[in-house]
Amino acid sequence: MSDGYQVNTDELEAVVRRLRALQQNLGQTANSSKYNTVVGPNDFGGSGFKEAETLRSAHGNMQTFLSTTIANLNQLINDFGDKTHQVNQNYRGVDEDQKSAMDSQRKGN
């Protein structure tokens, strides 16, 4: 009977894989928002249309917001993914140490 803990290391690895897949999708979104949504000076109207500048400015602000948000999410995913990977490795190390200790005791008895 075990009074200890149990950690599903396979699930930890799956979490990291899902995070990395999400990160790849974010990269595609970042590229699309930065390079595929260019607004030219006359796209919303000529120089006599004052709302055109407001629209261009709003578009630029949204591009900046998306770029910053995606960069922050990437950093968060990197940090969480790296820490989850490290925890997974640590648990595997503890499990191996426990197994080795038990094997040594069995051989000694």
pLDDT digits (tens, 9 = 90+) for 62-88: 888 988 988 898 899 889 888 888 888
- The reply to whether 76 falls in a domain is yes
- The reply to whether 79 falls in a domain is yes
pLDDT digits (tens, 9 = 90+) for 40-57: 777 777 677 878 888 888
Domain housing 46: 29-96
- Report the domain count for the chain: 1
- The reply to whether 72 falls in a domain is yes
- One DSSP character per residue, 50-107 reads HHHHHHHHHHHHHHHHHHHHHHHHHHHHHHHHHHHHHHHHHHHHHHHHHHHHHHHHHH
d(CA 10, CA 64): 38
Output the pLDDT for position 1: 44
**Sign of the torsion angle spanned by Cα atoms 39, 45, 48, 49:** negative
- The reply to whether 49 falls in a domain is yes
Which distant-in-sequence residues (6+ apart) come within 8 Å of 66 by Cβ?
Answer: 29, 30, 33, 34
Percent of the chain scoring above 70 in pLDDT: 92
- The reply to whether 52 falls in a domain is yes
**The length of the chain, given as a count of residues:** 109
- The reply to whether 14 falls in a domain is no
The answer to whether the beta carbons of residues 30 and 63 sit under 8 Å apart is no
